[in-house]
Structure 1
């Protein structure tokens, strides 16, 4: 498969939409998409649980899409529901899962989630395989996009996973943390810290020997937050150690499945390394950098209609489905069978 096989009309912002902040904020606040998710609680081996929302497909042998949300998002965010609706209308079965503590219930353990916590996404993949799905596609947004790219580079990734698409991916966590620490991005940083405070307060109440809320309001950046909470709760030495070990840019040469990464050049969350191809990228990488789109935006004025990003992801996925294509599994080339859709 060549990149030409996967081309799609580029995103063009609508009239008066050529602004990254507008693209990032308006869909998040004003878009209204609701789908009839069916919720399932998935118990984990470590004693915790994940909340999974599904849209079942009526088609026999339907493929499965697994959608991963962003930092402090959840499966009910409009960008997740919009993507779920578009895939479901095309005949796909949908998993829209929630990171630990993000589905409306606090999780049980001191740990919660982070940019490199792909063990839970791998559990979702195994759950899909246990339910009989033979063709699985990953879609991720922002932090969920970083997790999806990391997963698509795993050498032991299950053969049922065809590939994935990731949007607005902070592939270099250190550079993006510096970007969000700038005064121009303070509106986003304050909101993240405000939302995360709710989870930290719960952890501090239940695990006072591990977590303290004292002085939380003095935190101003992800460097502060990750040094104090993310790193110690998840086995990292520091924020820098966490960022280095969990940035998906490092695995771009190692991708084992077709992977589409779409990062808009006006994304206020992203920094320069998020747009750069590595010197020796995997042949499975397709990196696109539209001029516009903001962070998880790619909107037109009809906010509740299908967005360009949703069309882009489905087009990429169905190209993989409807063609025989080479994939690397355990270091060797195989050919995945095509699935005929009605």
Structure 2
């Protein structure tokens, strides 16, 4: 498909990518969106917490929401998405990845950009216990990479899955890491690292034989965290092997379900390899929209509804 043209033109202040990113991540508030939590068991004995929000009228359509790195189902970008989708007749199941729901998960492993087995478990649960005939996926950043990998890596995608939207996607993980480690993103990287190190300390309490004090001390950058923990806990040789195997870029050509990627031109987390222009040109299912503005999971919009939230509703409605 050719590139999708974008008409996103935010107010002047939100044309600044960093302001858009920071406002969305730290300052935006979304209220009046009740959630009901459900815990499901995973095949390896661990658990996932799902936060459900429903429209006022019964529906056969549901959207599964996937958050980004160190996010959860209470982040404004998840709540805002749920509110907009509920208002348009979609049920929402917001997934909290392992260890992200406020309670440590029970296994040494956690979540990562390519952990599609957990998405499969959520979809199996929905298909086995609910009566939705149309399932849509929407993911942000890490969650966007995960859902695109799932759609293209050769899974038997259920016929009920009709479409997907992925926002601010680090399609090439090593490139996104390079961007995060650059000076322009020093504050974001420090925040991510602080949260991840705290998680690692909590994991050490459960598995002291696997994580040493030296391991924690040696986490100086985000790549160190992936070398020391992410790769080892999930069966990869090292951080670069993890990035290589889990980047969704290589799987886009095999996606058969209509999927819209929205990556802002001024997203400081993404370098050139994260804009899959050639892959979209030659795909029958992947649509790529590159708004000039938006930052990383920003896309400020009127009435506290972001541009990405409006676009997801539009895209899913056309497929319905």
Give yes or no for TM over 0.5: yes
Find the aligned partners of 2:69 and 2:87 in 1 and give their Cα distance.
Answer: 27
State the alpha-carbon separation in 2 of the partners of residues 175 and 307 from structure 1. Answer: 26
2:231 aligns with 231
Q: Which has the higher contact order (CA 8 A, sep 6+)?
A: 2
Spell out the pairing of 1:62-101 with structure 2 (5 A cutoff).
62-101=60-99
Q: Which residue of 2 aligns with 1:32?
A: 29
Name the CA distance, whole Å, in 2 between partners of 1:267 and 1:78. Answer: 18
Normalising by structure 1, report the TM-score.
Answer: 0.88
- The 3-state SS of whatever aligns with 2:251 is helix
SS at match of 1:227: helix
Measured after TM superposition, the shift of residue 217 of structure 1 is 4.6
CA distance in 1, matches of 2:213, 2:256: 41
- Per the TM alignment, residue 151 of structure 1 is displaced from its structure 2 partner at its CA by 1.6
1:318 and 2:317 correspond: yes
- CA drift of 1:224 comes to 1.2
Q: Distance in 2 between matches of 1:27 and 1:101?
A: 23
- 1:154-197 deviation digits (Å, cap 9, x = unpaired): 44111110010000000000111111111221101100010111
The alpha-carbon deviation at position 70 of structure 1 amounts to 0.3
Q: Which residue does 2:195 correspond to in 1?
A: 195
Per the TM alignment, residue 59 of structure 1 is displaced from its structure 2 partner at its CA by 3.2
Matched position secondary structure for 2:277: coil
1:306 matched residue in structure 2: 305
Distance apart, 1:266 and its partner CA: 0.6
Question: Shift of residue 276 of structure 1?
Answer: 2.9
* Corresponding position: 1:297 with 2:298: yes
Would the aligned equivalents of 1:252 and 1:278 in 2 still touch at CA under 8 Å? no
**Match in the other structure for 2:287:** 286
Q: In 2 relative to 1, CA 239–36 (structure 1 residues): closer, same or farther, beyond 3 Å? A: same
The structural deviation recorded for 1:212 is 2.4
1:209-262 CA-to-partner distances (Å, cap 9, x unmatched) read 112243535433222111111000000001111001000011110102000001
- The answer for unaligned runs of 5 or more in structure 1 is 322-342
SS of alignment partner, residue 38 of structure 2: strand
Matched, 1:251 2:251: yes
The structure where helix makes up a greater share of residues is: 2
Change (3 A) 1:176 1:123: same
CA displacement at 1:40 relative to structure 2 = 0.6
Give the superposition deviation at 1:20: 1.0
Q: 1:161 to 1:216 in 2, by over 3 A?
A: same
Q: How does 1:125-140 map to 2 (within 5 A)?
A: 125-130=123-128, 131-140=130-139
Where in structure 2 are there 5+ consecutive unaligned residues? none
Residues 214-229 of structure 1 correspond to what in structure 2 (within 5 A)? Answer: 214=214, 216-229=216-229
Match of 1:340 in 2: none
> SS at 1:17's partner residue?
helix
Contact 2:219 2:228 (8 Å CA) reproduced = no
Match of 1:10 in 2: 7
Q: TM-score, normalised by structure 2?
A: 0.94
Residue-by-residue CA offset, 1:55-83 (whole Å, 9 max, x unaligned): 12343442000000000000000000000
1:240 aligns with 2:240: yes
User: Conserved in 2, the CA contact under 8 Å of 1:69 and 1:142?
Assistant: yes
| Partner residue, 1:339 | none
